[in-house]
Amino acid sequence: MTETSTSRPVRTAVAPPELGGLGLFTVLLGAALPLIDFFIVNVALPTIGQDLSADESVLELVVAGYGLAYAVLLVLGGRLGDLFGRRRLFLGGMAAFGLTSLACGLAPTAWTLVVARVAQGAASAAMLPQVLATIQSATAGPRRARAMGLYGATAGLSMVAGQILGGVLVAADIAGTGWRSVFLVNVPVVIAGLVLAARAVPETRSQRPEPVDGPGTVLLAVSLLALLVPLTEGRAAGWPLWTWLSLAAFPFAAAAFYAVERRADRRGRTPLVPPSLFALVSLRRGLVMIVPFSIGFSGFMFVIAVALQRGAGLGPVPAGLALAPMAVAFFLVSLAGPRLVARYGTRVVTAGAAVQGVGLALMALAARRSWPDLGLVELLPGAAVAGAGQALQLPVIFRVILSEVPPARAGVGSGVMITAQQAALALGVATLGTLFLSLIQGLGMRDALVTTLLVQLAGVVLTGLLSLRLPRTIG
């Protein structure tokens, strides 16, 4: 009798990590928190200013400090996730987000709040890129399409819900906390998120970890700061000489960043943002689209918050709830997005731009006819239509951008995409916000609002035209 078996060990293929339903819910919670906190302070700023005796320029830093730290460090956060493990960075970033939220809620002075907000933005930059990178690495096929659709829906809904939630929390004045509750509410949510993430989020990382690109990181930070700091602080500071010098330095810093990254790519090193990544047509054209969309989105949210509170005389709750129809429509329509994309491809984005344009026109008409009696009822038709149009665009654009990015570069790909989105969100507040506030003196609040909405409408038209260049189908 011969022996048919050997003692040689049998090698079995290791199954790729899989993101289950609870894990997906957890990472989407992590995606919602930073976006909610970008917008949650809009309706709380007047109360913060009164309580901490802060002038307008310091209040702008409460918003801008968070956004700048967030935008500057996002790509680095994605690279660190590829290098050390995305679950590890997600857990660390979420814990840091909870601690910095607590610091914001307990801040005794305005400048302490600014510092805490900068730290909160840095924590967000560590956490958020891991969400998309985990989805890209731990899902496939229809499950990935569904997860990406839910991510896009979560992102859009979070931006609107943040403003509504901010108004409700400030007015509720829970245990006498006032505006502080908009930050303190994050702490129990983060604790729950950490427990869930430890149980349900799989660890993923790049199979070929790439070291951090020091020169590229510094030059990207310099480029973004040179552009965003003067645009966000220039109007409040009276446009001093340093703002113009900073804007003049931006193209040179950006050119230096590109040259350093291209040289590193050609020499076989691993740059922070590999220029070869932009050879992907879907990524390149999707990024071009996300910029005008995000500029218009954040600019609108800031402008409508100021107009409804300072112009129409609404309190935080009515001002926030005026956007509820937009949030509801966005959520409902985004649920149908994957089926529409499967049937009509990326032409859904073009249709969404047309629908959003109609909604903006309706809101501009309502503002012109009903001012100063502008609130939930008057804005309802336009806000609902605009929300439906946005839901047909944002989730699909996210899917297009990352559709061809290989799993090994999921972290850097998601970091690049979110950096473009975040920088555009900051630009929206700086450009449309500055335009609106500058027009008030000459035109009055009503006409300044109408004019700004029409400028945003032009941006929506541009988004619709750019969508015609997207690949018809999504891989």
Going by C-alpha positions, the residue among 88, 95, 96, 127 that lies closest to residue 194 is 95
Which structure tokens are listed for 285? 């054209």
Contacts of 124 (CB under 8 A, 6+ apart): 33, 34, 37, 66, 70, 93, 97
- CA-to-CA separations, 131 to 191, 320, 326, 394, in angstroms, rounded: 17, 28, 25, 16
pTM of the model: 0.79
φ, ψ at 356 (rounded to 5°): -60, -40
Contacts of 284 (CB under 8 A, 6+ apart): 278
- CA-to-CA separations, 341 to 155, 355, 389, in angstroms, rounded: 18, 16, 14
pLDDT of residue 7: 46
Query: Do the beta carbons of residue 72 and residue 423 sit within 8 Å?
Result: no
Instruction: Give the 3-state DSSP-derived string for the chain, with helices as H, strands as E and coil as C.
Output: CCCCCCCCCCCCCCCCCCCCHHHHHHHHHHHHHHHHHHHCCCCCHHHHHHHHCCCHHHHHHHHHHHHHHHHHHHHHHHHHHHHHCHHHHHHHHHHHHHHHHHHHHCCCCHHHHHHHHHHHHHHHHHHHHHHHHHHHHHCCHHHHHHHHHHHHHHHHHHHHHHHHHHHHHHHHCHHHCHHHHHHHCHHHHHHHHHHHHHHHCCCCCCCCCCCCCHHHHHHHHHHHHHHHHHHHHHHHHCCCHHHHHHHHHHHHHHHHHHHHHHHHHHCCCCCCCCHHHHHCHHHHHHHHHHHHHHHHHHHHHHHHHHHHHHHCCCCHHHHHHCCHHHHHHHHHHHHHHHHHHHHHCCHHHHHHHHHHHHHHHHHHHHHHHHCCCCCHHHHHHHHHHHHHHHHCCHHHHHHHHHCCCCHHHHHHHHHHHHHHHHHHHHHHHHHHHHHHHHHHHHHCHHHHHHHHHHHHHHHHHHHHHHHCCCCCCCC
φ, ψ at 364 (rounded to 5°): -65, -40
pLDDT of residue 475: 61
From first to last of the 475 residues of the chain, give the pLDDT tens digit.
444 444 444 444 455 677 888 989 999 999 899 888 887 887 788 788 888 888 766 777 787 788 888 888 887 888 788 888 889 999 999 999 999 999 999 999 989 999 999 999 999 989 988 888 888 888 877 888 788 778 878 877 887 788 788 878 887 878 888 889 999 999 999 999 999 999 888 888 777 666 777 888 889 889 888 988 888 777 777 888 999 999 999 999 999 998 988 888 787 777 877 787 888 888 888 888 888 888 888 888 888 888 888 888 887 778 878 888 888 888 888 878 778 888 888 889 999 999 999 999 999 999 988 888 888 888 899 999 999 999 898 888 888 887 887 776 766 777 788 888 888 887 887 788 888 888 888 888 899 999 999 999 999 999 899 888 887 777 6
Going by C-alpha positions, the residue among 185, 475, 209, 208 that lies closest to residue 346 is 475
Which amino acid type is present at position 276?
Answer: S
pLDDT of residue 184: 92
pLDDT of residue 209: 62
CA distance 330 to 323: 11
Q: Does the bond joining 211 to the residue before it have cis omega, within 30 degrees of 0?
A: no
pLDDT of residue 351: 92
